[in-house]
């Protein structure tokens, strides 16, 4: 596995370890700055992401960008955003456990290069794979847990917030908690 971002990206581009590589449009490797203290991990690309090759650029992404902005974060200046799977699952279905497993090495390699202090799991799929199998977003969102050298937290997926806007204020509280945690870590 490559030790630099450019080679890692081109190796990932060529990956066919699961069937998603055959049906995707563009690879959605990740975006952001390479010295980010915070890594956000979503589920997998949707239609718009698949077209543009960037994570969270559809309606969900626009909402997520508002939460970033509320605490002084921005995808172009101080964070990195990736997904559990780098290729779009057809019809926006959840990535299967086997697809997530097949893709995990790319995320691990990104984490190794980035060395973030905090990893935020955006939604159930990432939180259940990276924090705990039984993670329940409605019950455990906003709680920081130490996992090795990383602090981890799970929050609502913006697509869930678009479906259920009553949870938006709870999500904002999670971002305020993240802001406070980052200030502590300075
Ligand atoms: N949903 C995700 O989980 N990730 C994206 O990149 C877009 C939508």
Which tens digit of pLDDT belongs to each residue from 57-91?
Answer: 999 999 999 999 999 999 999 999 999 999 999 99
- The whole-number average pLDDT for the span 147-176 is 98
Q: What is the pLDDT of residues 46-66, one digit of tens each?
A: 999 999 999 999 999 999 999
Q: Is the pLDDT of residue 1 over 90?
A: no
> In a 3-state reduction of DSSP, which class is residue 81?
strand
Averaged pLDDT score across all residues of the chain: 97
Counting atoms of ligand 1 from 1, which one is nearest the CA of 122? 3
Question: Mean pLDDT, to the nearest integer, of 28-49?
Answer: 97
Cα 28 to ligand 1 centre (Å) = 10
Domain 5-185 has CATH 3.40.470.10: yes
Averaged pLDDT for residues 131-141: 98
- Which residue's alpha carbon is nearest to atom 7 within ligand 1? 56
| Pairwise CA distance, residues 37 & 22, whole Å | 33
Q: What is the reported pLDDT for 177? A: 98
Q: Which atom of ligand 1 has the smallest separation from the CA of 157?
A: 3
Which residues partner with 39 through β-bridges?
Answer: 80, 119
CB atoms within 10 A of CB 165: 10
List Cβ neighbours of 16 (8 Å cut-off, separation of 6 or more). 22
């Amino acid at each position: 596995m490559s030790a630099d971002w450019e080679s890692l990206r081109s190796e990932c581009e060529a990956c066919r370890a699961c069937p998603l590589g055959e049906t995707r449009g563009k690879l959605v490797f990740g975006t952001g700055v390479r010295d980010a203290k915070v890594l956000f991990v979503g589920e997998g690309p949707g239609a718009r992401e698949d077209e543009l090759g960037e994570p969270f650029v559809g309606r969900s992404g626009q909402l997520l960008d508002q939460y970033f902005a509320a605490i002084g974060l921005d995808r172009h200046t101080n964070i990195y955003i990736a997904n559990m799977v780098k290729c779009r699952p057809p019809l926006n279905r959840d990535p299967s456990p086997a697809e997530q497993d097949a893709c995990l090495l790319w995320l691990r390699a990104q984490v190794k290069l980035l060395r973030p202090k905090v990893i935020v799991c955006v939604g159930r799929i990432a939180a259940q794979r990276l924090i705990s199998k039984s993670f329940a977003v409605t019950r455990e969102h906003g709680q920081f847990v130490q996992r090795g050298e990383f602090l981890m937290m799970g929050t609502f997926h913006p697509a869930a917030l678009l479906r259920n806007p009553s949870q938006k204020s709870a999500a904002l509280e999670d971002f305020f908690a993240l802001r406070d945690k980052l200030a502590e870590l300075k």
